[in-house]
């Protein structure tokens, strides 16, 4: 609990107008997009500079006050939820593109820049930052760095971590460090950039990010392939990866997800297991890839193989895929969705999807399955209602079983959404003794444990 003198000290750092204890502001920063109950911070603070962030962290560290960075608030695992109250550090006003170095394909941004906004600006210069999360319109670069987010284009281009060259980070005592290098490669010492990326605000606050960019592709093509059975669809996914196709996106939607997408987005896809496959490249190369894909889909009893010809058609398909989460929610008014984000080796993807469907039937719980299939990354949404506790508990437990099965198959609890609060108890099982190394790093950088307490690490 913060005292009046703490509020006054924060006001002195950022100005009275950038500190709030108003209920509406506390409520707005008490949640993310997960199913967690809200937890109110004691105060919301909006810094606008690295110096202010440094002064806030120095003060919070002295007084041992929790600091929870909160940016777009679009996390799905309770990552920015202030479970122990304290200071919600709202980073989204630090939202300037500071420098575009076209000659080196690099951009320097403040952490509050929104992904889609950044790419809109970059596109005019023929460049882009590729990960493409489904939450593009709200996810900020700071949140993406902290969660090591990825998305539809990771199958070809990799994840956020692969694009971060340098980070400016404020450590809990207020020290400002610059980690990384502008050089494309470096073997100079420990790779602190890779440590901070994916640390979910538990080690420090990111105040500046230098990203490497790539050139826009010459051509784009999208194919929609429909299959009679789940097994055929997931086999086709496997063979795409195994036999060396190079898609820029390879997404899977089960029947339920296709139905919700049709209903909510006005599409008329066949209600069958479906894959969306995108290619980037020159015309001849794409044509070759599509022919190869066609053969491979036919070998797996494909019912329908269609190309989205116009840019408008392609955009509609990707918008529908991006909005799958919202379509599912709208299909069950008043529901709470219990999200899963497991990732398994590609040869196990089909087995994972079958497991989810069998579980859904066995437990009598509606579970949607879709995701970034080319990476082995499966998203699940178990449908629950808060006023029906039995179903709620079953949906939570079913999602835990999905995670356990992914771990049995050599996978991970978190393909791209991070661990947050919700998945933390699985960390011992996934990491064993190396979790102790993570704890030692946390203690070294944040000895008083003020940074986003309760996240990533299990309760014991």
Ligand X SMILES: Cc1cc2nc3c(=O)[nH]c(=O)nc-3n(C[C@H](O)[C@H](O)[C@H](O)COP(=O)(O)OP(=O)(O)OC[C@H]3O[C@@H](n4cnc5c(N)ncnc54)[C@H](O)[C@@H]3O)c2cc1C
Q: Which residues bind ligand X (CB under 6 A)?
A: 32-33, 68-76, 79-80, 91, 111, 133-135, 138-140, 142-144, 146-147, 149-151, 200-201, 205-206, 325, 416-417, 452
Q: How far is the CB of 286 from ligand X (least distance, A)?
A: 24
Q: How far is the CB of 371 from ligand X (least distance, A)?
A: 9
For CA atoms 137, 266, 371, 156, the dihedral sign is negative
What b/e readout covers 105-116, taking b as 16+ CB neighbours within 10 angstroms?
Answer: bbbbbbbbbbbe
Instruction: Give strand pairing partners of 371.
Output: 252, 378
**Closest to ligand X by CB, 172 or 286:** 172
Range list of β-strands (E), 348-402? 367-372, 377-384
For residue 436, CA distances in Å to 287, 428, 432, 442 come to: 50, 9, 8, 10
Each as own residue / partner, the long-range contacts of residues 281-287 (CB below 8 Å, 24 or more positions apart, any chain) are 281/217, 281/218, 281/219, 281/246, 282/218, 282/219, 283/218, 283/219, 286/219, 286/221
**Closest to ligand X by CB, 171 or 290:** 171
Q: How far is the CB of 245 from ligand X (least distance, A)?
A: 21
**Closest to ligand X by CB, 86 or 281:** 86
Taking a C-beta distance cutoff of 8 angstroms, is the pair 33, 381 a contact?
no
* Distance from C-alpha of 450 to C-alpha of 176, rounded to nearest angstrom: 17
The secondary structure of residue 300, as a DSSP letter, is T
Q: How far is the CB of 415 from ligand X (least distance, A)?
A: 8
Helix (H, G, I), strand (E, B) or coil at 143: helix
Taking a C-beta distance cutoff of 8 angstroms, is the pair 31, 79 a contact?
no
**Closest to ligand X by CB, 86 or 111:** 111
Q: How far is the CB of 184 from ligand X (least distance, A)?
A: 24
**Closest to ligand X by CB, 112 or 281:** 112
**Closest to ligand X by CB, 72 or 85:** 72
**Closest to ligand X by CB, 163 or 300:** 163
For CA atoms 138, 143, 147, 151, the dihedral sign is positive
**Closest to ligand X by CB, 85 or 297:** 85
Q: How far is the CB of 31 from ligand X (least distance, A)?
A: 10
Taking a C-beta distance cutoff of 8 angstroms, is the pair 300, 239 a contact?
yes
State the DSSP H helix or E strand holding residue 207, giving kind and residue range, or none if neither.
strand 205-212
Q: How far is the CB of 145 from ligand X (least distance, A)?
A: 7
**Closest to ligand X by CB, 286 or 343:** 343
Q: How far is the CB of 219 from ligand X (least distance, A)?
A: 24
Q: How far is the CB of 340 from ligand X (least distance, A)?
A: 13
């Amino acid at each position: 609990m913060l005292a009046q003198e703490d509020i006054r000290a924060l006001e002195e750092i950022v100005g009275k107008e950038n500190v709030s204890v108003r209920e509406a502001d506390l409520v707005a920063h008490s949640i993310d997009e997960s199913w967690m109950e809200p937890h109110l911070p004691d105060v919301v603070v909006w810094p606008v500079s690295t110096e202010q962030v440094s002064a806030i962290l120095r003060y919070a560290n002295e007084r041992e006050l929790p600091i929870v960075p909160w940016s777009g608030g679009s996390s799905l695992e309770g990552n920015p939820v202030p479970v122990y109250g304290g200071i919600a550090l709202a980073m989204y006003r630090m939202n300037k593109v500071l420098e575009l170095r076209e000659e080196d394909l690099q951009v320097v941004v403040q952490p509050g820049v929104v992904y889609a906004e950044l790419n809109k600006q970059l596109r005019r210069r023929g460049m882009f930052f590729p990960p493409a999360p489904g939450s593009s319109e709200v996810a900020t670069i700071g949140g993406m760095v902290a969660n090591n987010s990825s998305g539809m284009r990771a199958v070809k281009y990799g994840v956020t971590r692969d694009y971060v060259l340098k980070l400016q980070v404020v450590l809990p005592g207020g020290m400002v460090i610059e980690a990384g290098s502008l050089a494309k490669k470096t073997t100079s010492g420990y790779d602190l950039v890779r440590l901070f990326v994916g640390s979910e605000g538990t080690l420090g606050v990111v105040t500046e990010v230098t990203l490497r960019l790539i050139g826009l592709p010459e051509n784009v093509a999208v194919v929609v392939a429909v299959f009679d059975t789940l097994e055929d669809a997931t086999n086709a996914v496997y063979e795409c990866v195994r036999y060396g196709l190079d898609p820029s996106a390879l997404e899977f939607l089960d029947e339920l997800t296709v139905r919700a997408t049709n209903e909510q987005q006005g599409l008329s896809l066949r209600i069958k297991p479906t894959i969306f496959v995108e290619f980037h490249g020159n015309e001849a190369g794409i044509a070759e890839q599509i022919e190869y894909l066609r053969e491979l889909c036919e070998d797996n009893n494909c019912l329908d193989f269609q190309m989205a010809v116009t840019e408008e058609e392609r955009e509609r398909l990707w918008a529908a895929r991006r909005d799958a989460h919202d379509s599912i929610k709208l299909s069950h008014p008043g529901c709470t969705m219990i999200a899963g984000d497991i990732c398994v080796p590609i040869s196990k993807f089909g087995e994972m999807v079958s497991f989810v469907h069998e579980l859904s039937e066995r437990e009598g719980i509606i579970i949607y399955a879709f995701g970034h299939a080319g990476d082995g990354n499966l998203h699940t949404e178990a449908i629950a209602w808060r006023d029906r506790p039995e179903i709620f508990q079953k949906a939570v437990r079913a999602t835990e079983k999905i995670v356990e099965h992914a771990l049995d198959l050599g996978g991970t609890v978190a393909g791209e959404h991070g661990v947050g609060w919700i998945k933390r108890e699985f960390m011992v099982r996934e990491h064993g003794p190396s979790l102790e190394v993570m704890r030692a790093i946390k203690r070294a950088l944040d000895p008083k444990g003020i940074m986003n307490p309760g996240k990533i690490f299990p309760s014991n």
